[in-house]
Amino acid sequence: MADLVTRYREIFGGEGTVRVVRGPGRVNLIGEHTDYNGGFVMPMALEAAVRLALVPHRGPTVALWSEQFAERAEFTLGAPEPANAPHWLRYPMKVAEVLAEAGVRLAGFKAVVQGDVPVGSGLSSSAAYEVASSLAFLLAAKPDTPAGPAQEVAAPHGLTTGKLALLCQSAEHRVGVRCGIMDQFISLHGRKGHAIVLDCRDLSFQAAPLPSDRATVVVIDSAVRRKLTSGAYNERRSQCEEGAGQMRKFDPGIKELRDVSLDLFKAHEASLSQVVRRRCRHVITEDARVLESAEALKAGDVERFGRLMNASHDSLRDDYEVSGPELDLLVTIARGVPGVLGSRLTGAGFGGCTVTLARPDAVEALRAAVRARYTKETGLEPRLWVSEAADGAAVEV
C-alpha cells in the first residue's frame, strides 16, 4: 500500500492526503450462469484486488492513471464521454453516472489505479474496479470519511452495500455486459475465511465456512483471455430468458429459470429448441448443486462438495458450452492428481480460470502436474495461486 501512495506522488505530485480504496476480485466456487436467472451462487472474495490511491478536490474533473495500461485519461463529471476515451475509463465513468442518478453529490479526484486481478481471467476484475471506483467517489464526496469497510463508507450517503452492488451492476450493464449481481455483491460483502451463499433474487445470503485445514482453494489461470462484450455471454442470457418464457406457458408463476423445477422442465423440455433446452438444463441443475453444496459445507463434507464441482464443470462444458480445450485440459489434469477433490471452470467461461478444491498436501503435486503438461500441450503459461477467502471492499487508508 505504501508503494501505491508513493506511485501516486510520482504521477500527480505531492499535494493532499492520499487515500486508498480496495475492491476485491472473486472466485465462484459453484453456481455459474445462475445469477442472472435469479438463482443461487457460492463465491468468495479474493485477496487479489483493484485499488485506487486518490486525492479528492473541489473541481468536476476525474483524472486517472492506469498502472496496467500505463496510460492517463480523464473525464468531467456530468459531461459527455470524451472522444477516444480508453475502454478502461468507461467503468468509473458509468459508476459516476449511476451514483449521481442515485442522489450522490459527486466531486472530482485524481487517482492511480492498480490491480492484481488478471483482466479477462473470469475473476471479476471489472466488478472489483467498479466497486473500488464507487468507494473512491463516495470518499471524494465526503473526504473526512474514516477508513473502514464498505458499509460504513456507503451509509453516510444513504446507501446500503446491497444498493451499492446494484448500482455497480447497472454501471457494467451500461458498459455493455448484462452481468448478474454476484460479482459486485461478493466484492462488497466478502468475509474472511468464508464463501457466501447468495440468493440472487432477494440478495439474502449466508456465510459458509471453508475448512482450510482440510481443503484448499487453488485458482489456475489458463492464460486464455476473453471479452464478454463479444456477445456470447449476452446470447446465453437471452436463451435463458427464452426458456423461462416457454416454461411460463405451463406455470404462469414462473418469473425466471430459478422458478422452474426439474420435474416441470423434464415434463416440457420437448417444447424447447435443442440449444435452449441445454441452456435451461444447466441452470436448473446448477441451482440444485449450489444448495446441495451449501449443505455439504455445513456438514463438513468436502468430498461431496468436490463431486458437485465436477458435475458443475461437466454441465458447463456440455450443456452451456462455455468451456474450451484449455479449461477442459486444466480440469482433466487436476482431477488426475491424488488428493484433488473437484475442479471446474469459474467465471463466465470462454477462457479465464479454473477453481480446484484440493487437500492441502496435494497442492504441490497439482502445481507440478500443471507445469509438466499444460504448457507442453497448449504453448501457454498458466498462473496458479492459492487464495484464502478475503474480506470485502473497504477504504484502507
Predicted pLDDT at 87: 95
Is the CB of residue 132 less than 8 Å from the CB of residue 138? Answer: no
Task: Measure the CA–CA gap between 296 and 303, rounded to whole angstroms.
Answer: 8
Is the CB of residue 134 less than 8 Å from the CB of residue 160? Answer: no
Q: Is residue 138 part of a domain?
A: yes
Q: Is residue 255 part of a domain?
A: no
Q: Is residue 249 part of a domain?
A: no
Predicted TM-score (pTM) of the model is 0.91
Give the pLDDT confidence of 20-34 residue by residue, as tens digits: 999 999 999 999 999
Q: Is residue 83 part of a domain?
A: yes
Is the CB of residue 395 less than 8 Å from the CB of residue 20? Answer: yes
Three-state DSSP class for residue 219: strand
Q: What is the CATH number of the domain that holds 72?
A: 3.30.230.10
Residues catalogued as catalytic = 183
Predicted pLDDT at 328: 98
pLDDT along the chain (397 residues), means of 10: 91 93 97 95 96 96 97 97 94 98 97 90 90 98 97 98 97 90 96 96 94 94 74 91 98 98 98 98 98 95 97 98 96 98 93 96 98 97 93 97
**CA atoms in the 13 A half-sphere facing the CB of 340:** 25
Q: Which of 396, 394, 395, 385 is nearest to 27 (CA)?
A: 385
Instruction: Give 52's strand partners.
Output: 21, 113
Predicted pLDDT at 299: 93
Q: How far is CA 126 from the centre of its chain?
A: 8
Predicted pLDDT at 228: 52
The total number of structural domains in the chain stands at 1
Q: Which of 43, 218, 232, 221 is nearest to 122 (CA)?
A: 221
Instruction: Give 291's strand partners.
Output: none
Predicted pLDDT at 317: 98
| Domain that includes residue 116, residue range | 2-209+390-395
